[in-house]
Amino acid sequence: MLDSALLADLRAARRVVVFTGAGMSAESGIPTFRDRLTGLWARVDPMEIATPRAFRADPQRVWDWHVHLAEAVRAARPNAGHEAIAVLERARLEVTVVTQNIDNLHQRAGSAKVIELHGNLLRLKSFVDEEAAFAAAAPPVICPVCAGYAVWERCDPWAERADLRVIELRAGRVPRCPGCGALLRPDVVWFGEPLAVEMLEAAWNAVEECDALISVGASLEVEPAASLPWRALHRGARVIEVNPAPTALAAHCHASIGAPAAGTLPELFATIWPPL
């Protein structure tokens, strides 16, 4: 699968970034954020409902749609690919998972360092109504409970929102932050929203320092995340793509494996970086 020179380079690597996209979750049976849901929600376009505008107009409807998605996420299990990535940490490597997925499956599989570029569906944060904030022209007030800016600006993605952790994305009325009264929403990046700058910086820093990057199930169509594997390549890191539908990266990276992650990563990683 890999020639001996590449294998030697990979074995000398100390810092590894595993970059994962929708294909990784699809193998666990989770629809991508762009896919329509089933049943009652089949007619609803995700790009119409997963937006700040839709939440502002009808928070309950948007909440209910995410509840339906969360049911699929909770019912799913990490697959052999997620597990192989988690096991990598036992091979004396510094592993950073950078994911575009919002389903928490890397953490459930046991990965310790996961940068969630698009957030996490099962975590909540307060909804910041930027239109209202700008209209009020009030200075920012940081809510001590949700750690979000109760009046404007974005929530801090690294905040430890401990008091919100007991509130879950479940059927029922949209909950509110007990501190500031803001409506709560899933901590995901909706259509029309920018990625959290802190997450993107953390991902970028991991790529700047890595010796190898494995891109798994990522279509590399959505910027700025799509640039991460290319940046690693230009820096001189070893780059491997694992994707049943190889992208433009395949022709430029050091190895391209046109296969799903669950059937590939366990053997691939055990060959390159056997657990100690």
Number of residues located near Zn ion, criterion CB under 5 A: 7
Residue position matching structure tokens 């430029």: 252
Contact 254, 229 (CB under 8 A): no
What is the closest distance, in whole angstroms, from the C-beta atom of residue 89 to Zn ion in the complex? 34
In angstroms, the CA 121 to CA 119 distance is 7
Would you say 37 or 143 has its CB closer to Zn ion?
143
Binding of residue 128 to Zn ion (CB under 5 A) = no
Nearest alpha-carbon partner for 204 in 183, 225, 178: 225
Would you say 17 or 143 has its CB closer to Zn ion?
143
Binding of residue 145 to Zn ion (CB under 5 A) = yes
Q: Other CB atoms closer than 10 Å to residue 96's CB: what's the count?
A: 23
- Stretch near Zn ion under the rule CB under 5 A, chosen from 109-117, 139-147, 216-224, 245-253: 139-147
Contact 198, 156 (CB under 8 A): yes
What is the closest distance, in whole angstroms, from the C-beta atom of residue 176 to Zn ion in the complex? 8
Which strands, in side-by-side order, build the sheet including 15-20?
Answer: 114-116, 94-99, 15-20, 212-216, 238-242, 255-257
- Considering only residues 150-179, where is the footprint of Zn ion by CB under 5 A? 177, 179
Binding of residue 180 to Zn ion (CB under 5 A) = yes
106 is catalytic: no
Would you say 143 or 214 has its CB closer to Zn ion?
143
Contact 119, 189 (CB under 8 A): yes
- Considering only residues 207-246, where is the footprint of Zn ion by CB under 5 A? none
- Taking CB atoms within 8 Å and a gap of at least 24, the contacts of 108-112 are 108/77, 108/78, 108/82, 109/78, 109/82, 109/83, 109/85, 110/83, 110/86, 111/82, 111/85, 111/86
Q: Which among 118, 234, 252, 254 is annotated as catalytic?
A: 118
What is the closest distance, in whole angstroms, from the C-beta atom of residue 162 to Zn ion in the complex? 12
Binding of residue 143 to Zn ion (CB under 5 A) = yes
Of 146, 214, 242, 257, the residue at the interface with Zn ion (CB under 5 A) is: 146
Which stretches of the chain bind Zn ion, using CB under 5 A? 126, 143, 145-146, 177, 179-180
Catalytic residues: 118
